[in-house]
Copies of this chain bind each other. A is one copy, B any other.
């Protein structure tokens, strides 16, 4: 009696298979008494409705795809995943994860084979510099396509993205308004590639500085360092090599800011005493560290994206399909007014 099927249950409960089915999926159509009996028997026989059969019958797959350019283990990706999961799982969906769609080879493989075709009810594209041709390919699977932090909404049925440029501009403005004069932006393509976000953030910094320069004296610069696992050390060297150490440092992400603070401490540069620094993300350890930073909430973005997907799947109407969210400045302990 390894596996009882719906017939076994029907027989044991003295009803038809239709009734067994209804007892599970439309309990209100079955008399209290019959239902209890059926569910009882089912429990005794370790029976449950088969998702595969339900899926087949209904024409839905109860599965969604999530595309990420790199590994799920970065802070951003994990949070997005958790957010999507928290909505989709209770709704009965599995998430089929496609990571590392980053090299030319994996991209081609994915977008030409399109393994998810006819096998998902929606597609999420997370923080992914997807190109228009690829979106076009995706559309061929004829399901809603929802983006999270995507460079362009073209071809997407819905999306939610963070305003990277505006956020970083706000961060720089904060530093400037504190009175700092020498302000530096260490910039690299990080190991954990955030794709287009990196560029947008740099633009925000530059914009804030240019705007401020029109009004007052400001010595600002972008310090470009090579990407790779040593990007923090590269930034550190570049910073230390400056003629004059800056009053303020604006970082593209907390993963840059946090190690920098630690390492600078060892070179006798202490924040906020000697310099102000602000991060971006409000990710792991930022709170522990007391890092002043721009907060974004990728988990909430995941949830919002999932809500949209669900509505799209059910043919409902979306209020606004495409959303932009503003990161928030979180003041903690690494910024202080300029004191010459």
A63 at the interface (CB under 8 A from B): yes
Find A288's partner among B49, B53, B118, B259 (CB 8 Å cutoff): B259
Q: Chain B: which residue is nearest A283 at the CB level?
A: B284
A128 at the interface (CB under 8 A from B): no
Query: How many angstroms between the C-alpha atoms of A141 and B43 in the bound complex?
Result: 11
Query: How many angstroms between the C-alpha atoms of A284 and B99 in the bound complex?
Result: 20
Cross-chain contact A258 with B285 (CB below 8 angstroms): yes
A328 at the interface (CB under 8 A from B): no
A52 at the interface (CB under 8 A from B): yes
* Total number of A residues with any Cβ neighbor in B under 8 Å: 48
Query: How many angstroms between the C-alpha atoms of A140 and B53 in the bound complex?
Result: 21
Find A56's partner among B47, B52, B72, B81 (CB 8 Å cutoff): B52
Cross-chain contact B78 with A89 (CB below 8 angstroms): no
Cross-chain contact B97 with A96 (CB below 8 angstroms): no
Find A63's partner among B72, B94, B284 (CB 8 Å cutoff): B94
User: Interface on A for B, CB 8 Å cutoff?
Assistant: 2-3, 46-53, 55-56, 61, 63, 71-73, 78-79, 81-82, 85, 89, 94-99, 114-115, 117-119, 140-142, 232, 258-259, 261-262, 265, 284-285, 288-289, 299
Supply 6 A–B pairs (Cβ within 8 Å), ascending by A: A3-B118, A48-B114, A72-B82, A94-B96, A95-B97, A261-B262
